[in-house]
Structure 1
């Protein structure tokens, strides 16, 4: 093989891989590092946004440290205030009103600085970090889902809870995972990080001061002056971990219920979305009673899980309140009571030690206070990592589909410039089935050839077009595409994105690549004169084009796209079903005149308009699908086979 031929073959193979998202080695998605809990939590700090992430994190840690130090100042000043109150009527050195007010004002200033200063500013910085982190994750998942390999489409093809292994099912409610789960996870993770930092810094600042202000304890002479600190830290070391263990057990139950209610909510939400999409059909058949019963069944799982969650949450709240009371009123004050009774410390030192112990208990008990949030955090993180894992798996669609059925399509590019579209030994299968529902032994579509696809509903016409375009999951066979031709697939049901009219006509091209006049001309030639001057509008009076345009107008918009982009390979899946006979003729006549070299494969049920007004056939051949077999014949042979039979 010459260098020129080898080079051309290499470029052709690369185009196939780009078109169908296939690569020789397993590609990585933008969320590949987020398939584990810690990978998800650390990805932002290791990304190209690390300066924002670490800058805000350091400031938050600094304010957390200042808040912990302020707790020490608060405890010391509280002890001093109590002591001054106790000595207000002292016979020899009474407290003066001025000194009492000064100490009270100092205590208030410390509290205001800590709460309104350090804590409030830290909250602002943490919410800013939350916003930036969530925005980055949303951006990464959007890049992963909306890539050129159509990951968003492939993810939904195996069907959640459908046939095949559980781990091959599509993730449910992708919208909830990308929006609500990411928002909850990022907020919960930042709170968790601040809590851990608070515990560590409080142990350093508050614990250090507790040891510094320690006093001897009768019976613990071996510890010297660290007796009271030892008793306090021992009490905290026993009390807090024990209650944290209980909280962790309850938190595990809460986590399981949180995951279950998210799944139940997702199932109900999915059903409501499906219902709203088929609202018209439900109204036509008066199917509201059946839909109502279905909604009730979906909601029952939510209600049952929510009731259990409420019981556990109420029990947890009671446990937390009891923990707080015993910790701040008994555990904090008991260790210092012995030296105070023995008169080895003053009332001021006793109150100061108790306040320090209370502050330390509160900080170390953060896990107990936040356990329900931690449970929700882990549930949210699990939903996100599941989505990231599914996205990574789908980077090679055929490998993904192969987990639930045969997926052995081979896509190549015709090397010769005159090569057309060729289908060799193609079999299409449904998920979980081994027998093909459609077989195409050998089909050839020459460049510029127009082919009409005929067959009963459900025979596999649309499935075949999807398979040619790499959008059918299961099957086998070889599909060879012509080299260097733009491909356009027009589906029967047109769903328009919420963008301006020019974007709708130009997609997938960037609208800036086409002149406004050319787009307006295409719209006019397609029969959309009345909107051809509204290129930069996303709709009218608050409604998008998808709601404003009728089915026929949407199909004319598809024609405008064809006339503008001039594809070389055009697939039309009942793309004229909403047009009358005259409009159908105009549709195909416009393509004939503007795209004379295009290869067209069109599915039609009503063939009454497959000829021009002059009686000339638009199509050169007919692909008939019958009995699970696809066979191609000339238009004249097909007409002969239809002798004395009405056109379908």
Structure 2
């Protein structure tokens, strides 16, 4: 497993490969099974963008004719040019509407495909659990929802904007070169001098805006993380509302929330300061760009070398060239936010890759067999401390085994290792495939009670008669009438009811091996005994492996193991009464 220092070093190395990694992420969709429709939509959107540039070129030529008609007081030409402009405007509106509509269609299709792929990778190999254990990836929910949405939207928007600006730059550069003429500076004749003026203006502006706003990337990255941390804190309060209310923890929680919000607030102030400087510069840059071409071209106009229409065309062409060359300036804030999004998304994907590699090359070698066997299995913690010394053990099918030990000795960790969740250790273990693990607090998905009872299988997997019988056997008869009711059942049911529902789930699944990690701890001894008796009666061929502290559990298990001082040893068995 990687340490924090190793993760930091790996991230620094990956920063140097940023554009290559973004390219690989971007091209995944365009080589997928949906590439046909994706490329068709992209080409249509690009074509509409080029039509938009052509309309701008037509409007630029229209400027010259229109202002010449005004200068010459030519009413017929003026009327014709107004009607011509109405036609151009109608086409421009149609192109703008469908360019936006088709771009949004392409964006949501791309986002749906990427989301499906990332959901699969996040849930595969139990990555969603491993990421939480490693703690190197914060707020995966934000990365799967907001970052994927921002990535697809910003990548298309910036990419299409760059293409449109490049085409516009070429088109208007040709026009500007043709209409600007030449100028003599210090005895040197400079052809197309307005083009060179626009180029110099844009280059100086781009360099200055980078100096002014280069901190935006890091600030945007931190702002996204702080906002996600705040949302997570709010969700935690909702999830544990009863415990917080019973503990009168409102003041403590407010202090925690305000601590998280302080990070949001202070980082946002830094963002405001940088964006203020950027706005000062970009606003000034844009305002100067309005009069700059007029000032530069005015000598030729007052010398009578060009007419008013030519001057206005030069001004329009210069504006388009300068705007195209200044794309970096105008898009800098968007580029900074896009870079921050990419950094977060790429680090998340790298964590998923690391999780997949860990699953493919686990430290603990697993196999499937008829019995549960451990061969030199040792377990540890992430910091290297040992929990279990090398142990060999065999549990035959049909055995009922109780695992006990002091709190914190590693009993639950051993069950996690058996289920494939715990990565820290070595050795070999063999576990039958038909196994079910019941934790102390069962997970009940939001939805109908039938779906919660059938989880992780489909809600229609079990017939109504079996479901009703299981609920009655677990003393949950009142819930039969609520099977089709949708609710947040972890808030509706008591801890004891949730554990009885988990036992009913086990009765329905009828696994060959059943692992209970203090799965009846919320029940009194009489209810606990009744449920264990029920399991033995209805699942007579199922092997039971239980973790528990109550001595009353001993009579339901023919074999007992105790984990103590990092050693797993046999304990005297108590025969079932």
Counterparts in 2 of 1:394-409, with a 5 A limit?
A: 394-397=355-358, 408-409=363-364
**Are positions 1:127 and 2:127 aligned together?**
no
Give, in whole Å, the separation in 2 of the partners of 1:491 and 1:428: 20
Greater per-residue helix proportion? 2
The answer (yes or no) to whether the contact 1:268–1:298 under 8 Å persists in 2 is: yes
The answer (yes or no) to whether the contact 1:134–1:183 under 8 Å persists in 2 is: yes
Cross-structure match for 1:644: none
**Are positions 1:202 and 2:146 aligned together?**
no
The answer (yes or no) to whether the contact 2:375–2:392 under 8 Å persists in 1 is: yes
The answer (yes or no) to whether the contact 1:35–1:389 under 8 Å persists in 2 is: no
C-alpha offsets along residues 275-313 of structure 1, whole Å, 9 cap, x if unaligned? Answer: 444443333333333333333333333222211110110
Q: CA deviation at 1:462?
A: 1.0
The answer (yes or no) to whether the contact 1:64–1:201 under 8 Å persists in 2 is: no
Give, in whole Å, the separation in 2 of the partners of 1:105 and 1:321: 34
C-alpha offsets along residues 222-242 of structure 1, whole Å, 9 cap, x if unaligned? Answer: 97xx93xx1111011111122
Q: CA deviation at 1:634?
A: 4.3
The answer (yes or no) to whether the contact 2:180–2:297 under 8 Å persists in 1 is: no
The answer (yes or no) to whether the contact 1:44–1:133 under 8 Å persists in 2 is: yes
The answer (yes or no) to whether the contact 2:558–2:576 under 8 Å persists in 1 is: no
C-alpha offsets along residues 42-75 of structure 1, whole Å, 9 cap, x if unaligned? Answer: 2221221112221221111111111111111112
C-alpha offsets along residues 31-50 of structure 1, whole Å, 9 cap, x if unaligned? Answer: xx999222122222122111
**Are positions 1:288 and 2:254 aligned together?**
no
Cross-structure match for 2:127: 151
TM-score of the superposed pair, with normalisation by structure 1: 0.80
**Are positions 1:48 and 2:33 aligned together?**
yes
C-alpha offsets along residues 437-462 of structure 1, whole Å, 9 cap, x if unaligned? Answer: 33363332221111122222222111
Q: CA deviation at 1:210?
A: 3.1
Cα–Cα, structure 1 residues 173 and 552, in superposed 2: closer, same or farther, change >3 Å? Answer: same
Cross-structure match for 1:193: 159
Cα–Cα, structure 1 residues 636 and 518, in superposed 2: closer, same or farther, change >3 Å? Answer: closer
Cα–Cα, structure 1 residues 34 and 201, in superposed 2: closer, same or farther, change >3 Å? Answer: closer
C-alpha offsets along residues 415-445 of structure 1, whole Å, 9 cap, x if unaligned? Answer: xxxx521223332211112x31333633322
Cross-structure match for 1:596: 540
Cross-structure match for 2:91: 113
Cross-structure match for 1:470: 420
Give, in whole Å, the separation in 1 of the partners of 2:143 and 2:150: 10
Cross-structure match for 2:264: 302
Give, in whole Å, the separation in 2 of the partners of 1:544 and 1:626: 39
TM-score of the superposed pair, with normalisation by structure 2: 0.90
The answer (yes or no) to whether the contact 1:538–1:544 under 8 Å persists in 2 is: no
Cα–Cα, structure 1 residues 553 and 106, in superposed 2: closer, same or farther, change >3 Å? Answer: same
**Are positions 1:259 and 2:203 aligned together?**
no
Cross-structure match for 1:456: 406
- 2:50 pairs, out of 62, 65, 69, with 65
- 1:392 pairs, out of 353, 357, 361, with 353
Counterparts in 2 of 1:275-424, with a 5 A limit?
A: 275-330=237-292, 332-397=293-358, 408-414=363-369, 419-424=370-375
Give, in whole Å, the separation in 2 of the partners of 1:549 and 1:291: 25
Give, in whole Å, the separation in 1 of the partners of 2:57 and 2:162: 18
Give, in whole Å, the separation in 2 of the partners of 1:216 and 1:460: 84
Give, in whole Å, the separation in 2 of the partners of 1:282 and 1:218: 79
The answer (yes or no) to whether the contact 1:157–1:473 under 8 Å persists in 2 is: no
The answer (yes or no) to whether the contact 1:74–1:111 under 8 Å persists in 2 is: no
Give, in whole Å, the separation in 1 of the partners of 2:295 and 2:474: 87
Q: CA deviation at 1:249?
A: 3.2
Cα–Cα, structure 1 residues 122 and 249, in superposed 2: closer, same or farther, change >3 Å? Answer: farther
Q: CA deviation at 1:366?
A: 2.2
Cα–Cα, structure 1 residues 632 and 561, in superposed 2: closer, same or farther, change >3 Å? Answer: same
Give unmatched runs, 5+ long, in structure 2.
Answer: 1-17
C-alpha offsets along residues 12-34 of structure 1, whole Å, 9 cap, x if unaligned? Answer: xxxxxxxxxxxxxxxxxxxxx99
C-alpha offsets along residues 509-567 of structure 1, whole Å, 9 cap, x if unaligned? Answer: 444554343333333333333333554x352xxx3333322222222221222112211
Give the superposed CA RMSD.
2.8
The answer (yes or no) to whether the contact 2:177–2:195 under 8 Å persists in 1 is: no
Tell me the secondary structure at the aligned position of residue 635 of structure 1: coil
Cross-structure match for 2:377: 426
| Count of residue correspondences | 560
Give, in whole Å, the separation in 2 of the partners of 1:45 and 1:248: 32
**Are positions 1:584 and 2:528 aligned together?**
yes
The answer (yes or no) to whether the contact 2:557–2:574 under 8 Å persists in 1 is: no
Tell me the secondary structure at the aligned position of residue 440 of structure 2: coil
C-alpha offsets along residues 492-520 of structure 1, whole Å, 9 cap, x if unaligned? Answer: 01121124333333333444554343333
The answer (yes or no) to whether the contact 2:557–2:575 under 8 Å persists in 1 is: no
Tell me the secondary structure at the aligned position of residue 304 of structure 2: coil
- 1:180 pairs, out of 133, 146, 154, with 146
Tell me the secondary structure at the aligned position of residue 430 of structure 2: strand
Cα–Cα, structure 1 residues 101 and 79, in superposed 2: closer, same or farther, change >3 Å? Answer: same
Q: CA deviation at 1:260?
A: 2.0
Cα–Cα, structure 1 residues 84 and 591, in superposed 2: closer, same or farther, change >3 Å? Answer: same
Cross-structure match for 2:561: 623
The answer (yes or no) to whether the contact 1:328–1:361 under 8 Å persists in 2 is: no
Q: CA deviation at 1:112?
A: 4.9
**Are positions 1:247 and 2:214 aligned together?**
no
Give unmatched runs, 5+ long, in structure 1.
Answer: 1-32, 89-94, 160-169, 401-406, 612-616, 640-648
Tell me the secondary structure at the aligned position of residue 363 of structure 2: strand
Tell me the secondary structure at the aligned position of residue 156 of structure 1: helix
Q: CA deviation at 1:109?
A: 4.2
Cross-structure match for 2:6: none
- 2:517 pairs, out of 547, 568, 573, with 573
The answer (yes or no) to whether the contact 2:556–2:576 under 8 Å persists in 1 is: no
Tell me the secondary structure at the aligned position of residue 625 of structure 1: strand
Q: CA deviation at 1:592?
A: 1.0
The answer (yes or no) to whether the contact 2:363–2:423 under 8 Å persists in 1 is: no
**Are positions 1:547 and 2:491 aligned together?**
yes
Cross-structure match for 1:497: 445
The answer (yes or no) to whether the contact 1:71–1:206 under 8 Å persists in 2 is: no
Q: CA deviation at 1:398?
A: 5.8
Cross-structure match for 1:519: 467
Q: CA deviation at 1:410?
A: 2.2
Give, in whole Å, the separation in 2 of the partners of 1:270 and 1:106: 57
Tell me the secondary structure at the aligned position of residue 36 of structure 1: helix
